[in-house]
Structure formats: structure tokens, C-alpha cells
Amino acid sequence: MSAERKEQVELSRREIEKVLAGETRRRRNRERRRRRARMRRRAIYLLALAGGGALAVRSYLEKPVQGGGTVVMADEEPGPLSVMLGELAKGLLQDPQKKAIADKMRFSVAIQDFNNPDMASTIKFQGSDITLYNGVEPDADVHICAELSLLLSLSGAGKGLQVFKWLQSEDGKKVLDALKGGRFIINGLSRRPLQMAHFMKFLTPAG
């Protein structure tokens, strides 16, 4: 093969590689956009639940059973997150409206700090009778792994259309970024969406 022919073959090979590389980049960009769109839809769904939107499906709500409004620590030495959640629950249960929301709940949520996985607690609702366990209970209905400050910020999301306005706030954008970046993970939400809606409404300040 002549030197000129070899040069032509080399140029053709480079052009093909360039085209293939460009197609690979475009395919990756398309997949990245799809992933972001899925995360955005998931985030909006989650935050709509935080506003209590799913509670409109009245026919599926469990009949409330009056509880005693008790908060019990299952472990002799409760961890710091269990103590914090326990004190938060005690304060919320002083409000009759919050107690009524808790009476609708029959499920458990495991909460784990994304930055410190050892800081974890599982909160179990038997109506407004609440038990807290250190760590992540393997049979928890929902498992949330997130920065605790971001999780607590969801309580400011409000209700209904207020949620979408909140998404534009600094806290809302931080939560969306964390969801897209894999730093706010929720497992089990699709299995217990209405119970999760009750939980987020329980945490949301009254008013």
C-alpha cells in the first residue's frame, strides 16, 4: 500500500472514530437528561406528598384509631437521633390536630443521616402511640437516607400549590439538587405513599 493510500485510510479511520465518539457523547447526554427528568418528577411527587396532596384520595385512607399519644424509647440507651425525634414527636402530639394525623398512621420510617450512617433511628407509628428504635430496623416500611437538615427542611414545604413555590426557594433547590445527586434517597415510598403523606403532614407546622 502506498504512503498516500495509508494516509487516506488513517484519515478515514480517524473520521469514523470521531463520528462514533460524537454519537457516544450524544447518547450519554440524552440518558443524562432522561435521568434528570425522572429525578425531577420523583422530587415533585415527593414534595407533593409533603404538602399532603395525596390525602385527597379519601376512599383509601385508613380509619383512624384513637391512640394514647405516647412516645416510647425501645432501647435502654437511646441514640441522639432517637432522642431528637422523640422530643419532636412529643411536642407535635400536644397539638390535637397533629395527634389526629398520627392516629391515621400504621407504619414505620427508618431515618439515616447521609453524612453519618451510624446516626440512624426508626420511628414506628401504631396510631399516635410511637416507638423509637436505634438504627435502621430491617422491616421498616420506608427508609430515608439524607442530610438531616434537608429532611427537616421539608416541613417548610407547605401544602398544595405552596409546595411548587417552595421548590423555587433555597431550601427547595437544595433538596432537588440532593435528589438528583443521590444524596437524598427514599426506599419504599411507592409501597406506602398515603402513609408517607400522613408522616410529612405530621411534621409540617400547623397553619
**Full domain range(s) for residue 68:** 43-203
Instruction: Kindly state whether residue 18 falls inside one of the protein's structural domains.
Output: no
Cα gap 189→197, rounded to integer Å: 10
Cell 400536644 belongs to which residue? 94
Instruction: Kindly state whether residue 125 falls inside one of the protein's structural domains.
Output: yes
Which pLDDT score, from 0 to 100, does residue 198 have? 86
Instruction: Kindly state whether residue 38 falls inside one of the protein's structural domains.
Output: no
The CATH number of the domain holding residue 178 is 3.30.1050.10
Instruction: Kindly state whether residue 79 falls inside one of the protein's structural domains.
Output: yes
Q: How many domains does the chain have?
A: 1
Name the CA dihedral angle for 108, 88, 159, 171, rounded to a multiple of 10 degrees: -100
Instruction: Kindly state whether residue 101 falls inside one of the protein's structural domains.
Output: yes
CA nearest to 47, candidates 191, 150, 182, 183: 150
Which pLDDT score, from 0 to 100, does residue 147 have? 87
Which pLDDT score, from 0 to 100, does residue 126 have? 94
Instruction: Kindly state whether residue 28 falls inside one of the protein's structural domains.
Output: no
CB atoms under 10 Å from CB of 186, counted, come to: 17
Could you state, in chain order, the average pLDDT of each consecutive group of 10 residues for the chain (207 residues)?
56 64 76 72 57 44 73 96 93 93 94 92 96 96 89 69 75 82 86 85 73
Instruction: Kindly state whether residue 27 falls inside one of the protein's structural domains.
Output: no
- The answer to whether 167 touches 153, Cβ cutoff 8 Å, is no
